[in-house]
Structure 1
Amino acid sequence: MASTVPFTVTGNGSGVAQEITVQGDNQHVFAADTYPAFGGADAAPSPLAYTLGALTSCNQITAQLVAKDLGVRLGELSFSARGDLDPSVFVGGAEGDANFDAVTVDASVETDADPDTFDRLVAEVDRRCPVTQLFRRSGLEFSSTWKARPLVD
């Protein structure tokens, strides 16, 4: 039987602002708000911005795990993620899905991997990253482009 690792957060707030606490041995607290157009004060990142940040950071964590498995080294990783949202469902209640229409990730990685191994790294990150899989399986248009850069020691 496979074991699982639970991830638990609690949230408290009023209006559209919320304080979120990550449960565990080392609790972490962060805030979420949204843009004024969505009823917020833009006093903290929106949940949608956090999802994109979760995507880039999970890709970086997964890349480190995969690189170890492949026996390659990684240096600096740089990511950019963009999500295109039509707010008509979310804000106006239109028919459809309240999801990003498309999400694009661009990654640049310092590595000593040869081109074939780098391609394997990218494919494995895509397959093994839980947040990437959440986005891919949600049905939106998802694209991810990775570029290798020489590793600077």
Structure 2
Amino acid sequence: MHNVNTDAVAATAAAAAASPEAVLQPVVLSGEWQVSDSEPQFTAMIPYPGGQVEFRCDFPEPMGGGGRAPNPLAYCMWGGVACYAMSFALEAAREGVPLRALRGEVSTTVDMSRALGVSDRPPVEKLTWTLHVDCDADPATLDRLKSLADDRCPGAYCISNPIPLETRLG
């Protein structure tokens, strides 16, 4: 339904209920700093089941980059709203609610002063994720789907809950 394989979702949920370890997915991603002034600053090949895609990012000029690619926070913010929109679409499919269209939007204000070492202010104080949904569902159904997405979206969880960060030199 609307590009969600509900049979696969049901099978995966059943496997997780039987054995939580069945849905653990180790993730290791790496990227390379580019020393050439003509390239975006950081690049990576990100694998997915059907192949791989190149991610390129560059700081904007005020942060010392050339603005030749999206900045790292743009990927982070886009990834979050993408995860949320996809979670909403998944829950709609599981509930049998067909979507004609779904668009996700993220908005915030970024304060670069901390990254520049001139303040302790947070870079972002709030993210707003807005979903624009085109379907025939009534408001109560949409609210229920939103609540399910709020509760189950991995991206929302990662942003809303402290996750230990370990940094290392290798």
TM-score range, shorter chain: 0.7 to 0.9
Seen in structure 2, the aligned counterparts of structure 1 residues 131 and 30 have a Cα distance that, compared at 3 Å, is same
- Greater per-residue helix proportion: 2
Cα deviation 1:25-67 (Å, max 9, x = unaligned):
4122110101011110000000111112112211221112101
| Aligned AA (1:115) | P
CA deviation after TM superposition for structure 1 residue 7, in Å: 3.0
Unmatched segments (≥5 aa) in structure 2: 1-18, 163-170
| Aligned AA (1:75) | R
Tell me which residue corresponds to 1:115: 139
**Superposition TM-score, scaled by structure 1 size:** 0.79
Matched pairs, number: 137
Let me know the Cα RMSD of the aligned residues. 1.9
Unmatched segments (≥5 aa) in structure 1: 139-153
Q: Would you say the 8 A contact 1:79–1:106 is kept in 2?
A: yes
Displacement over 6 Å in runs of 4+: none
Corresponding residue to 2:66 among 31, 41, 49: 41
- Greater per-residue strand proportion: 1
Aligned pairs (5 A) from 1:59-98? 59-95=84-120, 97=122
SS in structure 1 of the partner of residue 108 of structure 2: strand
SS in structure 2 of the partner of residue 31 of structure 1: strand
Establish whether residue 6 from structure 1 lines up as the match of residue 26 from structure 2: yes
**Superposition TM-score, scaled by structure 2 size:** 0.72
Tell me which residue corresponds to 1:100: 124
| Matched-pair identity in % | 27
Deviates more, 1:4-13 or 1:43-52: 4-13
